[in-house]
């Protein structure tokens, strides 16, 4: 799972990252959380499918945030080199480490100057562009699976392609959860009246804490809200 970006510097610059690091260590000591690296020996196809999905998913996700902002009047991300399909410019080191080891993490957030955006709901559209990109990737990668043309590549490639579809659907759904700093919160926030936005802004800082609690204690809720629907959508896309 990936958040659009926690907006923090390094692990020592904010206590939330230290909490995340503690959760990461505890997860490996207790073996309680999903870690893609654990599947490298037991199911390498699933691991490589996850890696490809994350690289592709993060890159296009963040690119579309930057592109949408550019089209709606804000060139901040473009001028900073973030309107790019180069994966390197979108990856956060600590967030990527968490992704590979623990199965959740974050990419480097695309900077957006909301004052430059055109349109009443422009900030919501910019935020929505990322998850929509993940669903688009999943739909495109599902085409050869649905048509059966992937069969000529062999079962290993089919499994990898299925993982790319599934994890991009997961990324899209997860990022729509309305908890800061996920895109869902920015989408909802951008639809609110200006006064209500101003009143709620001080509470946004508590979003990462709530998100970490959800990741640690809400496995059943995540299964219901994210992974269950992702499995249904994936099966629908690939036609099984």
Contacts of 5 (CB under 8 A, 6+ apart): 92, 95, 106, 107, 108, 109, 110, 181
174 to 106, 132, 167, 214, 222: CA distances (angstroms): 12, 12, 10, 12, 9
Torsion on CA atoms 33, 36, 38, 39, rounded to nearest 10: 130
Residue 58 burial by CB count (10 A; 0-12/13-18/19+): exposed, middle or buried?
A: buried
Contacts of 234 (CB under 8 A, 6+ apart): 138, 142, 162, 165, 166, 169
Residue 78 burial by CB count (10 A; 0-12/13-18/19+): exposed, middle or buried?
A: middle
Contacts of 145 (CB under 8 A, 6+ apart): 158, 161, 162, 165, 237, 238, 239
- Indicate if 114 belongs to the active site: no
Which of 62, 74, 92, 183 is flagged as catalytic?
Answer: 62
Least Cα distance to 92 among 111, 78, 80, 107 occurs for: 107
Question: What are the catalytic residues?
Answer: 62
């Amino acid at each position: 799972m990936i958040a659009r970006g926690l907006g923090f510097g390094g692990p020592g610059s904010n206590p939330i990252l230290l909490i995340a690091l503690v959760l990461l260590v505890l997860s490996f000591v207790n073996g309680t959380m999903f870690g893609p690296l654990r599947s490298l020996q037991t199911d390498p196809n699933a691991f490589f499918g996850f890696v490809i999905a994350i690289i592709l998913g993060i890159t296009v996700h963040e690119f579309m945030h930057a592109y949408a902002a550019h089209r709606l009047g804000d060139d901040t991300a473009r001028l900073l080199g973030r309107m790019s399909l180069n994966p390197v410019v979108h990856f956060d080191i600590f967030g990527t480490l968490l992704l590979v080891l623990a199965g959740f993490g974050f990419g480097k957030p695309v900077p957006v100057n909301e004052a430059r955006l055109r349109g009443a709901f422009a900030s919501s559209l910019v935020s929505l562009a990322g998850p929509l990109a993940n669903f688009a990737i999943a739909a495109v990668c599902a085409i050869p699976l649905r048509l059966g043309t992937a069969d000529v590549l062999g079962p290993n490639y089919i499994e990898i392609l299925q993982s790319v579809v599934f994890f991009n659907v997961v990324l899209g759904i997860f990022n729509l959860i309305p908890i800061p700093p996920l895109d869902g919160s920015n989408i909802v926030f951008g639809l609110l009246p200006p006064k209500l936005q101003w009143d709620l802004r001080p509470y946004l800082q508590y979003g990462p804490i709530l998100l970490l609690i959800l990741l640690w204690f809400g496995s059943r809720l995540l299964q219901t809200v994210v992974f269950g629907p992702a499995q249904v959508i994936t099966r629908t896309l690939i036609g099984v």
